[in-house]
Amino acid sequence: MVIVVGNPANTNCLTASKSAPSIPKENFSCLTRLDHNRAKAQIALKLGVTSEDVKNVIIWGNHSSTQYPDVNHAKVKLQGKEVGVYEALKNDSWLKGDFITTVQQRGAAVIKARKLSSAMSAAKAICDHIRDIWFGTPEGEFVSMGIISDGNSYGVPDDLLYSFPVTIKNKTWKIVEGLPINDFSREKMDLTAKELSEEKETAFEFLSSA
């Protein structure tokens, strides 16, 4: 397994995969778990629960400010019952506005406040990412991971390293299929795919001239 964390993580991961064709491309992944954890934390804070009570948030796309944190399919445990996040929060404007931008820009905000990066949070996210690859995801839960987009059912172009919701079993990831995508999500998912296509083009131009 090869896990890429250094930015631009998605495109660096794709480049690494192309440069090591003897390693199956499914063995390459990049870290979007930090964004995933931040999205869970924002929801938990807003509802006064712990991050462990929130599951199935999704980070779609690039580990950049175009990433799309999606809670349309997320659940939260409230008073012992699982409820959809939209239903629990009853605050669509926050979920479609400030929540998204907060998660997208969290890394920059931490650096601005601390004058240092969020290294410990990243380390925790790497541990989470590796633990789930090793032990698998719990039944009924999925996590976010930057992986090769080949053959996905969400209209994301092939040959990109894109963050999807995945389940993991026997050290093998599988994209969660069949999640309904509304127009709002579609637009955000396409925007981050476009950025990844442009990054890929720039990186490969550079590599071919090197």
Q: Which residues are catalytic?
A: 63
Name the amino acid, one letter, at 204: F
In one-letter notation, the amino acid at residue 119 is A
DSSP classification of residue 69? E
Token pair recorded at residue 131 = 């633990």
Q: What whole-number distance in Å separates Cα of residue 197 and Cα of residue 157?
A: 9
For 109, residues 6+ apart whose C-beta sits below 8 A from its C-beta are 102
DSSP codes joined into one string, 78-102: ETTEEEEHHHHH--HHHHTTHHHHH
Strands (E) across 5-64 are located at 28-30, 54-55, 58-60
CA distance 147 to 6: 15
Q: Count Cβ atoms below 10 Å from residue 82 Cβ, excluding itself.
A: 13
